[in-house]
């Protein structure tokens, strides 16, 4: 029997929660393309300065803010007309070309079993733009949640998309471990080893293993629903 939340929304048997950057979309390639564009437009020295500002801002905010870093960069170089080419590059970037192979197939398969939801960190302008231009917004039927620190918002996630079981797919073991600590066997954590965070040996040694580890997101097509749900272990 399907339960009801206080708000009247039906409790689904299972909800799939997907990260975006380096989980469904190769964000390392996006970053490399931006570095190349910056070097071409403003030179290597100012390109390095942009990334220094970017890292400083990320430490302050807790998430990547490409456009915010560009705004701060502008305060240091207010008369540089080449800034306009960089902002246009970011806003119009062809994110659909950077989806990992079979990402959309994985979403389609999971939608046959339950609801698929994007669960991402990020700013309120560029991250939604990325999700829309990549085709991921339509692929999950507009089911998108973006927080500053998503692992701290699980009560809201459960209120927005109530479910008896969750499957969380994320390239960061830190996030998977934090969610597992709260939801325990209510969530199956899935770790695609893609991108620089996933390949960081220090991070791998600092957190417990996920319930399921994959070489690439497309490998999730080899699992059926029963196998995924049975993989959930207590925290």
Residue with tokens 């190769």: 26
Q: What's the DSSP call for residue 21?
A: B
Whole-number Å distance between alpha carbons of 108 and 122: 24
Question: By C-alpha distance, which of 155, 148, 196, 150 is closest to 169?
Answer: 150
Question: By C-alpha distance, which of 208, 205, 198, 203 is closest to 235?
Answer: 208
Would you state the pLDDT for residue 213?
Answer: 96
29 phi and psi, to 5 degrees? Answer: -70, -40
Would you state the pLDDT for residue 2?
Answer: 32
Question: By C-alpha distance, which of 183, 42, 172, 51 is closest to 120?
Answer: 172
Of 3.40.1160.10, 1.10.286.50, 1.20.272.10, 2.30.30.790, the CATH number of 28-95 is: 1.10.286.50
Superfamily of the domain at 12-26+99-230: HAD superfamily/HAD-like (3.40.50.1000)
Would you state the pLDDT for residue 4?
Answer: 37
Compute CA distances 224 → 19, 112, 230, whole Å: 20, 11, 10
Would you state the pLDDT for residue 8?
Answer: 52
Cα-based angle 146, 176, 1 (whole degrees, multiple of 5): 80
pTM value is 0.91
Q: What is the mean pLDDT of each run of 10 residues along the chain (235 residues)?
A: 45 96 96 94 93 93 90 91 87 96 98 97 93 98 96 97 97 96 97 90 89 97 96 89
In the chain, where the domains are located: 12-26+99-230, 28-95
Reading the block at residue 228, the tokens are 């995924």
């Amino acid at each position: 029997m399907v339960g009801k939340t206080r708000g009247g929304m039906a409790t689904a048997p299972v909800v799939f929660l997907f990260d975006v950057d380096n989980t469904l979309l190769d964000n390392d390639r996006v970053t490399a393309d931006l570095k190349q564009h910056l070097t071409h437009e403003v030179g290597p020295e100012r390109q390095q300065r942009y990334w220094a500002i970017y890292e400083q801002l990320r430490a302050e905010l807790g998430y990547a803010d490409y456009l915010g870093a560009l705004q701060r960069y502008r305060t240091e170089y207010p008369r540089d007309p080449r800034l306009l080419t960089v902002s246009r590059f970011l806003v119009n970037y062809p994110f659909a070309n950077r989806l990992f192979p079979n990402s959309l197939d994985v979403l389609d398969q999971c939608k046959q079993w339950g609801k698929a939801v994007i669960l991402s960190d990020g700013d309120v302008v560029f991250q939604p733009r990325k999700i829309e231009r990549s085709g991921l917004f339509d692929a999950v039927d507009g089911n998108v949640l973006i927080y500053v620190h998503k692992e701290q918002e699980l009560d809201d996630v459960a209120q927005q998309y109530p479910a008896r079981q969750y499957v969380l797919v994320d390239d960061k073991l830190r996030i998977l471990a934090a969610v597992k600590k709260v939801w325990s066997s209510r969530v199956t954590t899935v770790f695609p080893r893609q991108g620089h965070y996933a390949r960081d040996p220090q991070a791998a040694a600092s957190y417990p293993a996920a319930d399921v580890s994959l070489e690439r997101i497309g490998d999730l097509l080899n699992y059926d629903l029963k196998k995924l749900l049975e993989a959930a272990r207590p925290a």
